[in-house]
Amino acid sequence: MTAIDMNPTELSRLQLARRVFHGNRLASISLKLFALLIALAVFAEFIAPYSPQERNRAYSDGAPMGITFVNEEGRLQPWPLVPARITSRDPVTLKRVVRTDDTERWNLKFFVRGSNYELLGLFQSDLHLFGVSGDGYLHLFGTDRLGRDIFSRTLFAFRTSLSIGVAAVLTAFVLGVAIGGMAGYLRGWFDTVIMRIIEFIQSIPTLPLWLTVAAAVPRDWTAMQVYLVMTVILALIGWTTLARRVRSRVISMHTDEHVLAGKLAGCSSTRLFLRHMLPAFTGYLIVDLTLAFSTIMIAETSLSFLGLGLREPVVSLGVMLLPAQSISAIMLTPWYLIPGLFVVVVVLLLNFIGDGVRDAADPANY
């Protein structure tokens, strides 16, 4: 019969989509970086040289410390070194002063023994990716007022923020698809009620409302309870966009020819929805998800930053930013802001990934 040309036509839609996605360099790299960040968060105990609550009394409010390859004699070395710090007291003000000692170097070592931890709740270990030998110390991002290592804390905080985001986004996703799908499918009064609720939620200024809700969380709740409530609050805001999207797609697809054909082929409503409708807009849902994820990360950080979200001893990116509230703190210890840059990076990566998925979901790009 008629010849069918081979090549790209042999691939499935998913393979094509993947090809388009990876054709977008920025998106492809972002996805890899994001995967790396997630790995950092998951293996935080191993990668972080210190535990989140460990204090270094000799180096509180300390600036980020660099790594050098030049030894104390001014010669280049193949292994990394850390310029040593000396703590002394100012004879007049009696304040503690830390300065770099150019005559001494601490050796940076890999796979060193440090504090004990339990990785993934599976096995115990005291092995850390890197650390400094002897009684030296290394604080890549500096330390906070209590002398806690900001680098290590950022990793743990990132994990908390990420897990809140994932939990909230998944909840929002399930709510959005289920409610939106039902509203689109059933129409009638159910649809009307749902749409009114969505309009209501979308028309109110979200942050002030979050503030109100967050402020309503009793002070004496445990960190875990606050964590759960925060997830729910964030998810409650996030589902509306998804629900709207799903609903309008379901309604418009009702009369699409391939959906009608599926109906004639004897598919049940569920099968029709899952096989013939959902795949067509999954790509767009993923884009929405990445965006919802960024909104939720930003919201979590903002709330915790104001002291209305998570609280110590839980470490989240927002909690870490809390001491940066005062202007004097920013001027004196600008490294307090580093955890905030993590938020920016993650949201950026998610946006790039979202753009890539959007392209990949658009059949016009194959």
Residues that bind other proteins (CB under 8 A): 1-2, 4-5, 9-13, 16, 199-200, 202-209, 211-213, 215-219, 256-258, 260-267, 271, 275-276, 279-280, 294, 298, 301-302, 305-306, 308, 321, 324-325, 327, 330-331, 334, 337, 340, 343-345, 347-348, 351-352, 363, 366
Q: Is the CB of 51 or the CB of 302 nearer to other proteins?
A: 302
How far is residue 36 from each of residues 30, 41, 50, 109, 290, measured CA to CA in Å? 10, 9, 20, 22, 17
168: left (phi over 0), alpha (psi -120 to 50) or beta: alpha
**Residues in the chain, how many?**
366
Q: Is the CB of 45 or the CB of 61 nearer to other proteins?
A: 61
Q: Is the CB of 93 or the CB of 203 nearer to other proteins?
A: 203
Q: Which amino acid is at 205?
A: P
Q: Is the CB of 15 or the CB of 133 nearer to other proteins?
A: 15
Q: Is the CB of 66 or the CB of 334 nearer to other proteins?
A: 334
Q: Is the CB of 73 or the CB of 257 nearer to other proteins?
A: 257
Structure tokens at 28: 């492809």
What is the nearest approach in angstroms of other proteins to the Cβ of residue 349? Answer: 9
Q: Is the CB of 66 or the CB of 279 nearer to other proteins?
A: 279
| Other beta carbons within 10 Å of 64 | 14
Q: Is the CB of 10 or the CB of 73 nearer to other proteins?
A: 10
What is the nearest approach in angstroms of other proteins to the Cβ of residue 334? Answer: 6
What is the nearest approach in angstroms of other proteins to the Cβ of residue 206? Answer: 5
What is the nearest approach in angstroms of other proteins to the Cβ of residue 266? Answer: 4
- Residue 335 — φ and ψ, nearest 5°? -70, -10
What is the nearest approach in angstroms of other proteins to the Cβ of residue 57? Answer: 27
Q: Is the CB of 79 or the CB of 366 nearer to other proteins?
A: 366
- Residue 138 — φ and ψ, nearest 5°? -140, 120
Q: Is the CB of 133 or the CB of 206 nearer to other proteins?
A: 206
Note whether 235 and 168 are within 8 A (CB): yes
What is the nearest approach in angstroms of other proteins to the Cβ of residue 309? Answer: 12
What is the nearest approach in angstroms of other proteins to the Cβ of residue 337? Answer: 6
What is the nearest approach in angstroms of other proteins to the Cβ of residue 200? Answer: 6
Bond prior to 279 in cis (omega within 30° of 0): no
What is the nearest approach in angstroms of other proteins to the Cβ of residue 171? Answer: 20
What is the nearest approach in angstroms of other proteins to the Cβ of residue 360? Answer: 14
